[in-house]
Amino acid sequence: MEESLALVKYEKLSTKDKLTMYFLIYSFLGWCLETFYAVLVLGHFVKRGFLFGPICPIYGFGAVIFILIFDGLKGHNVKKFLISMIVFSVFEFVASWILEMVFHLRWWDYSDAMFNIQGRICLSFSLVWGFAGIIFSNYLHPFIEKKMEKVLQKFTIPIQKATIYSFASVLIIDFIFSSIKYIKL
């Protein structure tokens, strides 16, 4: 009996579970960032993103890509900057193109910015992605990771998984209904 309790105590979430959790967390934080940016620029609240709920999946996908790319890359800020700038500019371009092909809408447009490519990406935001990669990998993710480890220790693995996948299910439902809304256009 004591042996099985010891095994349960040291059981941890799988990498897939953790990546799903981080996807959800950073999708929400991305929505907060987008909303804050819109309030600063426009002076009032504007619903940001594709989904009904307070989630911007592009930030969740971006964060998971960051986590996977920078897993073994400690220090090396110049490499992190260049990798982030290139990978996320390509990611932003592809995401913009897919959203436009599927839904015939653009969620962002950099056509007025200097050095843009089809209005999907521009040099100024590519530079932002470079710096964001450094900030994310050196400060933000280690902070979030530490805080989540403390929170997760308070719950059993089944409760952790149930919580993560309940939120993921809500996100999938939101995605389906949001897609239906935009496809009807």
Contact 85, 130 (CB under 8 A): yes
pLDDT tens string 4-38: 444 445 578 999 999 999 999 999 999 999 899 88
pLDDT of residue 10: 52
Region 105-134: what's the mean pLDDT? 94
**Which residue ranges make up each domain of the chain?**
14-171
Contact 61, 23 (CB under 8 A): yes
Task: Say whether pLDDT at 110 is over 70.
Answer: yes
Average pLDDT, the chain: 90
Work out the end-to-end distance of the chain between its first and last CA atoms, rounded to an integer number of angstroms.
Answer: 60
Task: Say whether pLDDT at 128 is over 80.
Answer: yes
Contact 95, 65 (CB under 8 A): no
pLDDT tens string 53-93: 999 999 999 999 999 988 777 778 999 999 999 999 999 99
122: which strand partners? 116
Task: Say whether pLDDT at 42 is over 90.
Answer: no
Q: Find all residues with CB under 8 Å of 85, minimum gap 6, and list them.
A: 126, 127, 129, 130, 133
Phi-psi region of 14 (alpha: psi -120 to 50; beta: other; left: phi over 0): beta
- Angle at the Cα of 39 (from 26 to 179), degrees rounded to 5? 55
